[in-house]
Structure 1
Amino acid sequence: MNLFNSSYYKVQKTFLTICGGWPYQTNYNYFVLRTIFLTGIMIFMFLPETIMIMRNFKDIDLITAILPLFCGSIMGFSKAIVLFSNVNEVKILLEELQKDWRNFSLIESELLLIKNYAKRGKQITVMYAGSIYAGGTCFYLMSLAAPVADLIKPLNESRHRVFLYPGDFYVPNDNHFLLILTMEWYGLMCAGHVILTLDTFYITLLLHSCGTFAVLSQRLEKLEITNFQINKDQLFQENSNIAQDKKVYFYLTECIKLHLRNIRFTERLNSTFSKAFFIDLSFGVLVASASAVKFVLSINEPNQRIMYGGIYLMQSIRIFCNSLPGQLLINHSNRVKLAAYQSKWYELPERSKKLLLILMMRSEKPNEFVVGKLFAMNIQLFSVINRTCFSYCTALLSLQKN
């Protein structure tokens, strides 16, 4: 447990604890925090938007305005359900991560590699969280601009007041503007925090897996028969060769175990969060497309243009941040094969060569984070999603003109 209080994982632990996803919390904290976040997303975001869509189903302009944050509420709720229903899997992943740190702490160079990848995960988490919370707070303050201006420099009539998103709360909007705006912001922050938590947790674990592959590659690159010499003054020549053979064989056995353990780690991560990211990407395309449409159409409304432009930019950054670790995982798993090729395998004893061949054959298949058992998370997927967003954007703009 001390590892998660260190600077590398403390931020991630805090995010999981806030939303009730930390597996070492008490049952009471689980219940209270999960209730707060799920009701916040459902009551203050999803239901008001759903009611507004049902009442104005034929208003394409209004539907386009609601769509980005309506899809965001679905993404947040689905990720919350996946996170809360897989607490045991999360606990196993954290225990495996802790076990890896204990194993790598025996060799300074390997521990340094793991620390570097953990540091990258922390940096991404902090920047990601800063953008999410800063964006949500800016949207809230922008909506407050009109009532504040009415107080500072009142006009004959009240300025036009803009909510974060169109929603029906069954109360008069003009009389309860600040209350409704705060409820919308609360619902938005609940969804945003759950999305942020699961995304950064996934990124942190994938980067740890990349670090483990980097350690394995480093071990294979150092694979030389001269590193396993036995003191011949103390042993006969024949016994020396046998002892050396055993040392090489044991070293390769440990490499294979590390490779297999890391493959199982990524497979567990895949099976735990694959469905959540499939839903995320499916609705994320609609978020980006609808936001781009509203950005283009809101020529005379600078506040709306800034808001929807910010949503589009944030969503694009999110998809890129989720795709990049998947690409790094593929690259690092492929590097294991290259490291084995570049080692001085030709100097090894025969049975050690056969053991290395098993590792090389398994490393021919790259490790991937597969979304919904359909496509791998990588940079190519990011490019495909961007093209799809532009296609949907064009179709929605054509629908608006008609």
Structure 2
Amino acid sequence: MKKYATNAKLITFAYLIYVFSCCGGYTLFSIIPKLLNIVLPLNESRPVNLPYQAYYFVDKDKYYFYIIFYVCVFGSVATMMVIAHDCIFFIYIEHVCSLFAVTGFHLETLSFNNHNDTNNRLDDRKIYNRKIAISIHAHWRALRFADILDDIFCTAFAIQMSIVTVTLSITLLQVALLYGEINETLKYLAFIFAQVIHTFCFSIQGQRLIDHSSQLSDKIYNSSWYEVPAESRRLLLFMMRRSVQPCFLSAGKIYVFSLKSFSTVNVIYEIYVFTKFMLLYAPMKFLLRILALILKVMQSSVSYFTVLASFQ
């Protein structure tokens, strides 16, 4: 379980850096024109834009840095709340995966008798029954934890996916309305990629849960089950039957977080279609061709990764 604890630490740290980098870069797009007016002034001031459209009942040019300070503080607090929620989710996923891994280890070592079992002079049937009972209890704990995890995050993920869908639609509309403004277009396109990668992070964690919960039947089959007495083998059938139905995490019992769902999600297709439509305009042709290529490569890579993961 130390391995999974280390994985959880690395995942949360990488996610923390990623989120703050995205938020900082998004805010930096709005600050750059103001900084250039100070460092490299022109005959006329460059247009100043806020990170998001809002009205603070003051002159935004005069109080620009005060507004940016407020945006940074408010954004940092909101970002930390999101990071705390997501990191707790990642840690829980790693924990439940470790429970399934421990169960698989018990099943793979059924035929190994330790010295304590020999000294107790128990017959083989009782030894195997006790080991299988320990494995079944560990499996039950993992399944129960996975069900509790799905019940806790199901509603929150449904709300979150609804917000992501709405924000992506609004962002695409903003890109269409701001045609010709390269800086604003890049800012909104970066936001789109951040949302897609954010969904990918949840999908890959959901895929890990599916893989770990469904691999128990393979571990039972690959173990020395033929050395187990016939009466004890029947106990393993119940675990194999249950492992055929993998555990998963869903958003409102509608969207299942997995690499397969992510690779076929409609929002990627909508972004790609929108990109192909925007390719008709010459000023953004090169940029949007790169965007279309990246989206297709991302979708193909996830599809191939899903196929390869099924052979593990």
8 Å CA contact retained: 1:248, 1:352: yes
Pick one of 203, 206, 213 that aligns with 1:333. Answer: 213
Measured after TM superposition, the shift of residue 324 of structure 1 is 0.6
The C-alpha deviation readout for 1:209-229, integer Å capped at 9, x for no partner, is 1122122112212222x5368
The C-alpha deviation readout for 1:93-152, integer Å capped at 9, x for no partner, is xxxxxxxxxxxxxxxxxxxxx222222222221111112112222333332222222223
Pick one of 18, 22, 25 that aligns with 1:135. Answer: 22
Instruction: Write the distance in 2 (CA, Å) between the matches of 1:160 and 1:337.
Output: 62
8 Å CA contact retained: 1:136, 1:185: no
The C-alpha deviation readout for 1:81-100, integer Å capped at 9, x for no partner, is xxxxxxxxxxxxxxxxxxxx
Q: Cα gap change, 1:121/1:296 in structure 2, threshold over 3 Å: closer, same or farther?
A: farther
Matched letter for residue 179 of structure 1 = Y
Measured after TM superposition, the shift of residue 313 of structure 1 is 1.5
Mapping 1:225-304, distance limit 5 Å: 227=113, 240=121, 242-295=122-175, 298=178, 300-304=180-184
8 Å CA contact retained: 1:293, 1:393: no
Instruction: Write the distance in 2 (CA, Å) between the matches of 1:208 and 1:322.
Output: 15
TM-score using structure 2 length: 0.79
Partner residue, 1:45: none
Matched letter for residue 340 of structure 1 = I
Unaligned runs of 5+ in 1: 1-113
8 Å CA contact retained: 2:209, 2:248: yes
Partner residue, 2:69: 182
Aligned-residue sequence identity (percent) comes to 27
8 Å CA contact retained: 1:209, 1:262: yes
Measured after TM superposition, the shift of residue 301 of structure 1 is 2.8
Partner residue, 1:154: 41
1:192 equivalent to 2:79? Answer yes
Match of 1:227, SS?
Answer: coil
1:383 equivalent to 2:269? Answer no
Unaligned runs of 5+ in 2: 278-312
1:203 equivalent to 2:90? Answer yes
1:222 equivalent to 2:135? Answer no
Match of 1:159, SS?
Answer: coil
8 Å CA contact retained: 1:324, 1:378: yes
Length, aligned pairs only: 278
Q: Cα gap change, 1:193/1:384 in structure 2, threshold over 3 Å: closer, same or farther?
A: farther
Matched letter for residue 388 of structure 1 = V
Measured after TM superposition, the shift of residue 389 of structure 1 is 4.5
Pick one of 351, 365, 387 that aligns with 2:245. Answer: 365
Partner residue, 2:2: 115
Matched letter for residue 145 of structure 1 = I
Instruction: Write the distance in 2 (CA, Å) between the matches of 1:276 and 1:133.
Output: 22
The C-alpha deviation readout for 1:5-31, integer Å capped at 9, x for no partner, is xxxxxxxxxxxxxxxxxxxxxxxxxxx
Q: RMSD of the alignment, in Å?
A: 2.8
Measured after TM superposition, the shift of residue 309 of structure 1 is 2.1
8 Å CA contact retained: 2:204, 2:258: yes
Instruction: Write the distance in 2 (CA, Å) between the matches of 1:359 and 1:342.
Output: 14
The C-alpha deviation readout for 1:317-370, integer Å capped at 9, x for no partner, is 111110011111111111101111222223322432222222222222211112
Q: Cα gap change, 1:140/1:375 in structure 2, threshold over 3 Å: closer, same or farther?
A: closer
8 Å CA contact retained: 1:290, 1:396: no
